[in-house]
Structure 1
Amino acid sequence: MSPPRLTSPINFIRDVRLAREQSTWDIQIGYSAGSAQGTVTSVTPHEPSTKDDIESPLALPALTHPHIHLDKAFIHSAPEYALFLPTAGTFQEALSSTTKAKQQFSHSDIIRRGEWLLAESIASGVTAMRAFVEVDRTVQLICLEAAVSLKTQWKDSCHIQIVCFAQDPIFSSEYGEQNIEFLEAALHKYSQIDVIGTTPYVESSPEAAKQNIEWAIDCALELNKHLDFHLDYNLDPNKEALVWHVLQILKQRNWTTHSTDKRVMLGHCTRLTLLTENEWARLATEIHENELPVSFVGLPTSDMYMASPPRASGDCKPPQDRPRGTLQVLEMIRKYSLDAVIGVNNVGNSFTPWGLPDPLSLACLGVGIYQAGSQADAELLYECVSTRARAAIGLSPSHSGPWVKQGCQPDLLLVHNRDDTGCGMSRPRTNVAEIVWTPPGKLNRDVVSGGRLKISPFAGAESDSLYQF
């Protein structure tokens, strides 16, 4: 397996539709001397043509994975891990079986499964991802070394932002000290690490969880890294929400938009769905007034599968009463002006045995989860897996909505109307909403990364007139 082949740099993309535009447009891409990365230098109206505009592809910003686990991807697809297929489907089983599976991880195995993830993601339209790889006494630096190799080999197709991730405890359990030693060694050895990530909720006590948070914040500031917490992954009203401690320490350490360009991401956070209206208002105020560069990422496929409230012995609730929790991302954006996105998280393992590494399928799922059926909802969902997600992980200074504009990076997804039925017909998707509501197959997705087109077996004759190199 190898990274996809890319064309030479594109200079023009002609006669494409844009979000909310009735006519078609031409996109010009320029390249600075000595740089393979381009910039969209102009977006201008296309001269009228005789063909129907709906035949022209719809050009959108490319997709982004703001939170995905590279080293644990597709464990279920590898025959050597057949013993670890889920039987109970619980979170504890997932933790236990994945810990055992990790004992078998090898460099070549992680490369193979990582390339499965990258290939399917890029074919879907992903050109940037924040990828978690675990470092601890079990895997030591194996996962990280594989991720560094993949980051280098696939850099032309996809920007891989590596998270040095502590899934296991670092301030409790008999192996905590060893785990933190491996983390610190990795952080000082590999300059390719972009992000420090930890899981405070796996610690054995609230005190240890807070130590975990403080260590990660101090370490990220010292090394000038982004920070990413798996946080408050429960639906237990009797457990303290650790988000308040995170905000408190960020304020104490003066982590603001003025002091650093590094960002803080909080993932899962299902416990926050139990907050009162006043608590949500307080949360938003804390972040805004202190200018904290904090983003939230909801992970619906994992959250819906795993996050359920605890059941006490003697619980009289009917068996059909099975609430699930995931952040109400659209409401967080609109009502509280919080920075929030959605991500895939896991694919093909016991934490999330269902779903695809396709952010568009996730945006589609969001229509039902958030009861978000309007065109404006669909556009916001698209942003949450594209421009908002890219900005949340620090790869662009701000999000631009679902629009291709002058000055933006030429990372694009062009959606075509090619026949994928074998029946000689195709159904046009005329706007962003239709792409979110009924995501097109990969046959109808052209992916442009850094101004270069991914060479696809599905490209038709229309490509000759569409792209000018």
Structure 2
Amino acid sequence: MPPQLSNQIKSIQGVRLPGKSFTWDVQLDHSKKKPTVASVTPHASEVTESPLLLPALTHPHIHLDKAFIHSAPEYADLLPSTGSFQEALSSTTKAKQRFNHADIIRRGEWLLAESVASGVTAMRAFVEVDHTVQFTCLQAAIVLKDQWAQSCNIQIVCFAQDPIFSSDHGEQNLELLQNALSEYDQIDVIGTTPYVETDTEAAKRNIEWAIDNALRLNKHVDFHLDYNLDPNKEPLIWHVLDTLKARNWTSHSSKRIMIGHCSRLTLLPENEWARLAAEIHNHNLPVTFVGLPTSDVYMAAAPGDSAQDRARGTLQILHLIRKHNLDAAMGVNNVGNSFTPWGSPDPLSLACLGVGIYQAGSQADAELLYECVSTRARAAIGLESQEGLCVRDGWVPDFLLVRNRDETGCGLVRPRSTVADVVWTPPGVMNRDVVLGGRLKVSPACDNDNLYHFA
């Protein structure tokens, strides 16, 4: 069930802010429909061991219906034996044949509980619609979206994991998607996987269908795209951009386009990245790339079976931002299933992984990695834009406060006073206080010791 929340917080007193000296008080305004930060002012006196206040975390790309399949005993016979992509597709198809409403609610709540406890207050959640599950996953997601609304903003993606313009069930899958989009106004995003189509022409039709329907229905679009490391395969990103330009997306929609995985693009030379960035900038296309390194380093292998073919590829997110000024973020993608049997729903662990993946060890790197799982990720899914990491007037009061509580039982505490401290060695949940819409998530670790002032 969703966590208990406190009364409205009037102010949070004596906190540290990234890059700022001294300690600060954050006043909240609850007089309007949505609470906001009213002011950020210096605290009256310096506070020792004060917590670090940061923007809350965001899942820009996570699969709700497939979460923690490996943790549910009814799927015990479907655990990986080879770890291949084809095995993951096959075993997940078999798992989907057993999905039911109660099962998806249970595993979905596992995901939500661990995510919110980590500091996640918004997520883009993929749920599949096809001939196997029909509307079962979508209907469960709608229930969770409503039940957890005060704790997490759940943005639902009506997702076509299976082909819609090829294969024996393509026509049926397409009809179900169209019916879902007509019947359920809780859907926020249209998502497809063009690379699962049997040929390039069908993949391009898939892309065009998603963009055309998103324009017609005023939805965001989210593509799983170019998930391979085969230099002989044509990258489909160019067709996405060409279609957006041909449909004059920017003039007709304020919604965004998310592009996930794209491991094939790691093979592009620098001049091709420059050309791609120029296409996006020159036509003002609201495109964001989301790196999914937990899945990509596990699953996205180059063709072949030899040890030399075991190279991995994942988007160089920090390089895309700094070198090419592209919008980019990082997402968890899958947890606890055959596509990604390792890792947790904690975005901070993902930012920590990015330090090694991108060889990004400076404090500035750590701050950018944190943005990629917080403010940049939030803007990428179309929520309000909050630049940087230092809270300002007008911000939505969704925060992660890093505390200094003894987690060891040894009477010792190693403080984390900077963003780099938090990214390099993420604190446990006991040292994460989560503020959601101006209310504190109540947990056994919470103490209301003059830090929070409630209405």
TM over 0.5: yes
Q: Distance in 2 between matches of 1:220 and 1:191?
A: 13
Name 1:282's counterpart in structure 2. Answer: 275
Name 2:43's counterpart in structure 1. Answer: 46
What secondary structure, in the 3-state scheme, does the structure 1 residue paired with 2:8 have? coil
Q: CA deviation at 1:430?
A: 1.1
Q: CA deviation at 1:21?
A: 1.3
Q: CA deviation at 1:261?
A: 1.3
Pairing 1:412–2:405 present: no
Which of 284, 292, 296 is matched with 2:289 structurally? 296
Percent pairwise identity: 72
Counterpart residue type for residue 275 of structure 2:
R
Q: For 1:373-388, list aligned pairs within 5 A.
A: 373-388=361-376
Name 1:458's counterpart in structure 2. Answer: 445
Higher mean displacement: 14-23 or 112-121: 14-23
Q: Distance in 2 between matches of 1:5 and 1:344?
A: 25
Which of 205, 213, 218 is matched with 2:212 structurally? 218
Name 1:262's counterpart in structure 2. Answer: 255
- The answer to whether the 8 Å contact 2:157/2:189 transfers is yes
Alignment coverage as a number of residue pairs: 454
Q: Distance in 2 between matches of 1:361 and 1:164?
A: 27
Q: CA deviation at 1:399?
A: 3.6
Q: CA deviation at 1:320?
A: 5.3
Kindly report structure 1 stretches of 4+ aligned residues shifted beyond 6 Å.
none
Counterpart residue type for residue 39 of structure 1:
T
Counterpart residue type for residue 325 of structure 1:
G
* Aligned-residue CA RMSD (Å): 0.9
Counterpart residue type for residue 277 of structure 1:
E
Counterpart residue type for residue 120 of structure 1:
E
Q: Distance in 2 between matches of 1:453 and 1:116?
A: 20
Q: For 1:83-232, list aligned pairs within 5 A.
A: 83-232=77-226
Q: Distance in 1 between matches of 2:446 and 2:127?
A: 34
Which of 315, 324, 346 is matched with 2:334 structurally? 346
Pairing 1:272–2:257 present: no
Q: Distance in 2 between matches of 1:138 and 1:447?
A: 38
Q: Distance in 1 between matches of 2:133 and 2:309?
A: 39
Q: Distance in 2 between matches of 1:403 and 1:238?
A: 45
- The answer to whether the 8 Å contact 2:25/2:42 transfers is yes
Q: CA deviation at 1:321?
A: 5.3
Q: Distance in 2 between matches of 1:11 and 1:399?
A: 21
Q: CA deviation at 1:32?
A: 2.7
Q: Distance in 2 between matches of 1:160 and 1:68?
A: 11
Q: Give 5+ residue unaligned stretches, structure 2.
A: none
Name 1:367's counterpart in structure 2. Answer: 355
Q: Distance in 2 between matches of 1:459 and 1:411?
A: 16
What secondary structure, in the 3-state scheme, does the structure 1 residue paired with 2:5 have? coil
Which of 436, 441, 449 is matched with 1:449 structurally? 436
Q: Distance in 2 between matches of 1:126 and 1:350?
A: 24
Q: Distance in 1 between matches of 2:429 and 2:308?
A: 37
What secondary structure, in the 3-state scheme, does the structure 1 residue paired with 2:157 have? strand
- The answer to whether the 8 Å contact 2:71/2:336 transfers is yes
Q: Distance in 2 between matches of 1:260 and 1:137?
A: 30
Q: CA deviation at 1:22?
A: 2.0
Q: CA deviation at 1:322?
A: 2.0
Q: Give 5+ residue unaligned stretches, structure 1.
A: none
Q: CA deviation at 1:308?
A: 1.0
